[in-house]
Structure 1
Amino acid sequence: MNETAKLDDRVRDFCGTNGIPGFLAGVHHAGRQTRISHGIANIATGEPMRADTGFLLGSVTKIMTTTLVMREVERGTVDLDAPVTTYLPEFRLTTPGAAERIRVRHLLNHTSGIDADLFFPDVEGPHALKAYMGRLGRECGALFPAGEFVSYSNGGMIVAGRLLEVVTGLPYDELLNRDILGGAVPHSVAVGHFPGPATGQARPTGMFRLPSTWAPAGGTAIGTIEDLLDFGRVHLGDGMTPSGRRVLSAASVALMRSKSHHMGTPDSSPVGLGWLLRTLGGTTALTMTGASPGGIAVLAVVPEHDLVLAAYGNDPRALDLHEELLLELTGATPPPALTPATFDLQPYAGTFRSDQLRVDVRVVGDELEEHVVYEPSDADQERIFTGFIGGEFAAPPMRYVPVGPDLFAPAGMPLDALPAHCLVSYHGRGDYRCAGGRLTRRAGA
């Protein structure tokens, strides 16, 4: 059986077992390239998934935003170590002095500390990013001083997008389509789906995409598997597209994939510029996952294996298939088993907050119990966020057991081969809680 047939069978089996309507995947490996399409792009219309079906790229757009900034660095119009206010004098946060300490580099490696992860101003049109900046300065503060920690930052990438608009004189979407996506419009576009609460049967999303204010972080960009493979090959090699057009210098490609910060715990990946850097199969994989309403995309580049994986599923449950394909292609083994630990849990108890989220942590016996509560700042924020996740936010209390210094795993789950995103860690002497690569800060810290 050839590689295309193997991939197709793998996808067909997973989607059939898990009720995922449609899936797209592309693999470039050692000079050979294959693409497969499976299932339905929109169950309401019956439109099939095709190899050239478009889809929302989600946060994979962040790598494209970073690439666009690096192009300006090469041209000398942007300095990575200059304060963001050099280019955006209007950039402000509610935390006094915080914005002025943020450098361009901090926007790209998720160390800016901007506390705006769930901040969704509902503005459309060419002035959306300018409007975002105005509201950011009035409504959002800083989680931590710039450069101190890593916290996955939608806000940082959106500010980077506005910076690009100012230094190039072009709207972000126009710049992205001209320099990265090539301006081609897919003939059809997949629609996201969510599993039904009772049966798990997929239903179409009621929200196709996020507002234009989120464009640089991944709210609006649409591409195809071929687009992602071509873009991945730019970062696989020396900055050239397969057609021979130079996008970046080899030095910029190398800088983006070089480790710039790491939290030091297994629940979060080291970061480069834009990329998350995972160790898989004895080598480094450059990765980014892109969520959209009811959809999930992934782009992974593994230079030492001459490998690019691009995939999209129009149901969030496809994330597990993305992970399985990446592990199989890289020959990665499961992570080592974690070991239960015993230490004083009281220092971790308390209330932790970030933009519109509250996490209440208390000690129950020899475990921590965490309760995550969504606290929308207004009706628009609630409408957009619940549309993005497919319904009301409801997170029951979760119990965690200690498995190492400042590290916790879900109670009752096997400690062997536990996915990193299931872990929770604490930092700064317990003043910060990290889950899913995102920090919350202890109230009063």
Structure 2
Amino acid sequence: MNNNALHTVEAQIREQAAAYCESNNVPGFVAGVYHAGEQIVVAHGTANVATGAPMREDTGFLFGSVTKVLTTTLVLQQVERGLLDLDTPVVKYLPEFALTEPGAADKILVRHLLSHTNGIDADLFVPDAKGRDALKSYVTALASSCGSLFEPGEQLSYSNGGMIVAGRLLEAVTGMSYPELLKRDVYAPIGMKDSSTSAEQAILRSTAVGHFLDPETMAAKPAGMFMLPDTWGPAGATPIGTVADLLACGRTHLAGGVSPAGTRVLSAASTALMQQVAHDMATPNVPPMGLGWVLYPFGDTTVLAMSGASPGGVSILCVLPEHDLVFTAFGNESGAIMLQDQILQWLLSEHLGVQVPPVVTEVQQDVDLTPYVGTYRSDQLRIDVSIVDGQLEERATYELADESQERIFSEFVGGMTSAPPQRYVPIRPGLFAPAGYPLETFNGYMRLLLVSYHDVRDGQARFRNGGGRLSRRA
């Protein structure tokens, strides 16, 4: 590929980032693109408004849920070494793993943890623990705190709990802590030289902090929390690194498991397995799921993606095997996800010439709304759905279990623990769009804003899916 093409990409990202950050009060943004042997990194703005430290090309940031790709890579390494089997129940390796319903955990296979089909109802469950036994204490606490949403393999619901159990499983079969394993078996062989798993390590180099917009002034203020507790490490709480490190990770998955340095990190078969559809809900708001990767269809092109929220920040990693391209980015205010989406769509349509057909083409007017009315629940979340003025209205209430959960959750989201009611317009039976958005909003990553309802029986839907997460009719 000629250098000129990537110069154009660099100029475009620089321009888009400057315009978006300026108009949406995002303090800083950093992004990288690898394409056909060349790569660029672009940094813009400020890493921390309290200090004025600039966002640099080598500024570190929290990976958030991009970590799930790393955790999956670690599990498949242990499968290759014969220490784990994907189709064996988790309890064989981790006898203490249990949920509040007797026997529910016994049916969960190792594979279900990685494909988000395990049904563990623990989406907001963040027990506060630090250090070597953090994951052990998480698994112990599950048994008395969290149930299941569905039978394993029956549905798909984005699962932090599944990835954390996978992290504990790794500790049990290797005898090493999750951070040690990540450092030895992912960071080192991939060449992620600036990556770490703790604030103590991150402070030794330039690291961005997250920000929230002040509702009064709309100015960005640093988040009061740097990272979630260690209990969420394998789901995305603790890993920190740079754009160059994530590009190296993406390139390893492009190259069939061989790192840019030439080290084999994962077999070609395991790398391919992560990219195959493990479960498909057949609804546009929930893309098909591989192992660790979400498989976004953009026309004929599949984008392997994972985005990651951290307190006041958002990261993304996208790998396009058909086009030998990796895109990764971090913004230190959550609104930057829209910028990441814009850049991804520009890369697809303008840089690569991919035809990106609209996700939603037409809207049905006469959809019966009654099957969807009711109350839906998942871990510490209640959603009341009613009909108002011929539209669905959803009210989300966080029913946080205790003071510790409330403190952690409110710090993670910047203080807002209740959402205003949201109206939805029907696209077709079982699929709804938030009112007031133009339909092209949903063509890219933001198709996650659509809401779907599933498994209608006796005139009532059993499940609601928003943002890839299921809640069950109460």
Structure 1 residues 7-62: Cα deviation after superposition (integer angstroms, max 9, x where no partner): 22222222122211111111001111001111111110111111111100000000
Alignment-derived partner of residue 302 in structure 2:
284
Q: 1:390-427: CA deviations, max 9, x gaps? A: 11212111121221121112233333443412211111
Structure 1 partner of 2:435: 411
Residues 1:78 and 2:67 are matched in the alignment: no
Greater mean alpha carbon deviation, residues 188-197 or residues 337-346: 337-346
Counterpart for residue 30 of structure 1:
36
In 1, Cα distance between equivalents of 2:427 and 2:158: 23
What whole-Å deviation, never above 9, does each CA across 1:80-113 have from its counterpart, x for those lacking one? 0000001100000002211000000000000000
Cα distance, 1:238 vs structure 2: 1.3
Shift of 1:365: 4.2
Aligned residue number for residue 205 of structure 1 = 223
TM-score, length basis structure 2: 0.91
1:5: Cα distance to partner?
2.7
2:361 to 309, 324, 337: 337
Alignment map for 1:40-439 (pairs within 5 Å): 40-182=46-188, 184=194, 187-331=205-349, 332-418=356-442, 419-429=446-456, 430-439=461-470
Aligned amino acid, residue 350 of structure 1: G
Write out per-residue CA displacement over residues 320-359 of structure 1, whole angstroms, 9 at most, x where no aligned residue: 1110111111113543423133232222111110000001
Provide Cα deviations, 1:102-133, integer angstroms capped at 9, x if missing partner. 00000000000000000010000100000001
Amino acid in the other structure paired with 1:344:
D
Q: Is the 8 A contact 2:93 2:173 kept in 1?
A: yes
Shift of 1:384: 0.3
Question: What whole-Å deviation, never above 9, does each CA across 1:123-182 have from its counterpart, x for those lacking one?
Answer: 001000000011011110000010000000000000000000011110001111222123
Please tell me whether the aligned partners of residues 194 and 242 of structure 2 are also in contact (alpha carbons under 8 angstroms): no
Distance (Å, rounded) in 1 between the aligned partners of 2:282 and 2:138: 33
Matched residue type, 2:342: E
AA of the residue aligned to 1:48 = P
1:13 to 19, 22, 46: 19
After TM superposition, the structure 1 stretch with the greater mean CA deviation from structure 2, 392-401 or 426-435, is: 392-401
Structure 2 CA distance for aligned equivalents of residues 20 and 207 of structure 1: 18
SS at match of 1:125: coil
Tell me if the contact between 2:284 and 2:359 (Cα under 8 Å) persists in the aligned partners: no
**Which range moved further: 190-199 or 107-116?**
190-199
Shift of 1:247: 0.5
Other structure's SS at 1:177 match: helix
User: For the residues of structure 1 that align with 2:134 and 2:362, how far apart are their CA atoms?
Assistant: 46
RMSD: 1.3
- 1:280–1:327 contact (8 Å) kept in structure 2: no
| Deviation string, structure 1 residues 341-392 (Cα, Å, up to 9, x no partner) | 3232222111110000001111224221111000000000000001001112
Q: What is the alpha-carbon distance in structure 1 between the residues aligned to residue 440 and residue 327 of structure 2?
A: 26
On the 8 A contact 1:337/1:417 being kept in 2, the answer is: no
Larger mean CA deviation between 225-234 and 415-424 belongs to: 415-424
Q: Residues 128 and 404 of structure 2 are in contact (CA less than 8 Å); yes or no, is this contact kept in structure 1? A: yes
Task: Report the AA paired with residue 343 of structure 1.
Answer: V
Q: Is the 8 A contact 1:263 1:270 kept in 2?
A: yes
Read off the aligned partner of 1:72 and give its amino acid letter: Q
Matched letter for residue 360 of structure 1: D
Question: 2:84, 2:45 → 1: CA distance?
Answer: 44
> Within 2, Cα distance between the matches of 1:184 and 1:27?
18
Contact kept, 8 Å, 1:336 with 1:417, in 2: the verdict is no
Amino acid corresponding to residue 37 of structure 1 in structure 2 = A
The answer to whether the Cα contact below 8 Å between 1:339 and 1:415 also exists between their aligned partners in 2 is no
Structure 2 segments unaligned to the other structure (5+ residues) = 196-201, 350-355
Q: Structure 2 vs 1, CA of residues 37 and 415 (structure 1 numbering), >3 Å: closer, same or farther?
A: closer
Contact 1:327 1:333 in 2 (8 A): no
Distance 2:267 2:300 in 1: 27
Classify the secondary structure of the residue corresponding to 1:267. coil
Sequence identity percentage: 56
Greater displacement, 255-264 / 323-332: 323-332
Q: Structure 1 stretches of 5 or more lacking a match?
A: none
Measure, in 2, the Cα distance between the counterparts of 1:176 and 1:383. Answer: 28
SS in 2 for 1:428: strand
- Mean Cα deviation higher: 245-254 or 177-186: 177-186
Query: Is the CA contact (8 Å cut-off) linking 2:194 and 2:245 kept in structure 1?
Result: no
- Whole-Å separation in 1 of the counterparts to 2:25 and 2:357: 27
